[in-house]
Amino acid sequence: MQGISSTFETLATTRNESAAGVLIDALSDADQGTRELALAALLSRTNDDSPARLLANWDKIQPQDLVHIRGKRNWISKAVVQSLKSHDDSLGQTIEVAKVLGINEAIPDLIQLAESCANHSIRQQASLAVTTLVAPLGRDARNDHPQGTVRDPILARLSDSVQRFSMHRNALLIEAFLLTATWGDSALRQIINDGGPMLDLICKSLAQSQTSGVIELLAGFIHRKSLPPRIMEQMRSRSDAAFRDELLRCVGTDPSQKVIRNLRDMKMPQSCRGGETLICEVAPDRRAAIVHLYIAANDNNLETLHLITAVVHQGGPGCVTAAALGLARCGIPTCELWMQAAVLIADGDAEAIASNENAKLLNDLIELLDHDEPALVRGIQRVLSPLHTDAILPQFETLRLRSRRRLGRVVMMVDPNAVERVRDALRHPVLTRRLQAIAMADALAIVDLLPDSFTRISKEDHQEARMKAAAAMADARGNETLKLLQDMVQMPESPVRDAAVAALQQRQSARSR
């Protein structure tokens, strides 16, 4: 084997041009070791037309050989470019070689072929090769790893091709331009600012292309200081999952104010519609972004709340933080909506709750009140604030007793400060407010927790308040409120005494059952 190695070393360095032919022939050898030695020797030759000979015999190259040839890309690139210029019979094969080896020097000639070659299949093959070769250049530039000396002239050449579209009518070259571009490139900005047919062309590609680089470019506009109207239109109108996932990646778990502002201006993109049904369609690391997007772009507040609860239940990086932020910013449903939902919650009918969107939402939020993240719980308390004691107090007097008590059970679930708020209201200087507080204490079944307040009312308050207090104590169970009623029936004959007698009888009747 050592003798063979020495032979190939000699063939690699000799000035005898026939050595290249010997090495080419050796590429057909059945022994893999011999083939590898021949290819290594051939790639080492620098003093003849070995690159052109290898290109002419490309059919002898096997897939495992490509890694070695890519490492010597500069060795063969000149031969590839010359072959492309010659338009010989092997043009299709040369285009494929340029593509698989990633020979960027060939891109200008490939663009020329894509624009003007009379052979349609060659035009198509050259176009696809261009898009393949420019894609990594654009991707690196958009990810802050620019290859300016390579990319800039290619972008300029593709920009010229865009301007000449009416002559070549090759839409793949429009896509290639977008694949190469970044958001700050003057060529792209000029087209956007000028408007007209060129902008129509790139907007059509941005709206329809399924190529990842074009989708990345379009979604990435969300980071710009402002969104050009036509670009915003394409972002809003695309409805495919690929664009949705890329847009959510760009939004991220902690979007900047620029991103939030752009989302707010854009409104809800078609690709992200669907509310909580989206949660299972996207990867966990995209779920926090959905919350940020919905808070900024969605006008349907209830849909956003449903989505937030679903995100917390499903989980994912940054989801709880995003949900807490969303609950702190979203609109608050009306008291009427929450009251209607609370009736179903109070009845505890699981089927009825599941079939009513608002009741299901309220139930989900109540369950999340036990979450261990304080910011999330604060957000939920904010959203449920219309059911807190202070907010709902004026409503209670207008409800029937049974309705008050059903609603009261839910108020106790959502308002951790209900007892203190009722106690404060029972001391309010305005009689109407105190009457409302008495009704609230009865509905919340907390009369026995407020003996001092009811003692003061029963002895010192307005007659109407004392009568209401007596009626409220009829359903209490504590000894202190029982003693209060017993004291009240010892009063001189009056409407207050009559109310106390009725309440005491009701308690005695309930005890005997």
Q: What is the mean pLDDT of residues 260-267?
A: 96
Distance of CA 288 to the CA centre of its chain: 6
* Phi then psi dihedrals of residue 430, to 5 deg: -90, 125
Q: Name the average pLDDT for the chain.
A: 91
Q: Is the pLDDT of residue 2 over 60?
A: no
Q: Name the residue type at position 414.
A: V
Nearest to 147 by CA among 160, 159, 134: 134
What pLDDT, in 10s, does the model give residues 274-314?
999 999 899 999 999 999 999 999 999 999 999 999 999 99
What pLDDT, in 10s, does the model give residues 109-139?
999 999 999 999 999 999 999 999 999 999 9
Q: How confident is the model at residue 152 (pLDDT cuts 50, 70, 90)?
A: very high
How wide is the angle at C-alpha 76 spanned by C-alphas 51 and 10, nearest 5°? 50
Structure tokens at 66: 């490509």
Give the C-alpha separation, 473 to 482, whole Å: 8
Dihedral-angle region of residue 102 (phi above 0 means left; psi in -120 to 50 means alpha; beta otherwise): left
What pLDDT, in 10s, does the model give residues 402-432?
888 888 888 888 988 888 888 988 899 999 8
Structure tokens at 445: 């079944």
Residue with tokens 């292309």: 209
Q: What is the mean pLDDT of residues 16-25?
A: 87
Nearest to 131 by CA among 180, 88, 168: 180
322 three-class SS: helix
The set of residues, in sequence order, having a beta carbon less than 8 Å from that of 89 and lying 6+ positions away, is: none
Q: Name the residue type at position 167.
A: M
Q: Is the pLDDT of residue 234 over 90?
A: yes
Provide the Cα torsion 260, 275, 250, 171; round to 10°: -110
Give the C-alpha separation, 146 to 137, whole Å: 7
Nearest to 452 by CA among 475, 476, 429, 484: 484
Residue with tokens 């050259």: 126
What pLDDT, in 10s, does the model give residues 442-466?
888 888 888 888 889 888 889 998 9
Give the C-alpha separation, 428 to 432, whole Å: 9
- pLDDT number for residue 473: 87
* Phi then psi dihedrals of residue 170, to 5 deg: -105, 100
398 three-class SS: coil
67 three-class SS: helix
Nearest to 234 by CA among 192, 275, 180: 192
Q: How many CB atoms sit inside 10 A of residue 233's CB? A: 15
Q: Is the pLDDT of residue 246 over 80?
A: yes
Nearest to 375 by CA among 323, 434, 305: 323
- pLDDT number for residue 441: 85
Q: Is the pLDDT of residue 512 over 90?
A: no
Structure tokens at 268: 């809800």
pTM score, whole prediction: 0.83
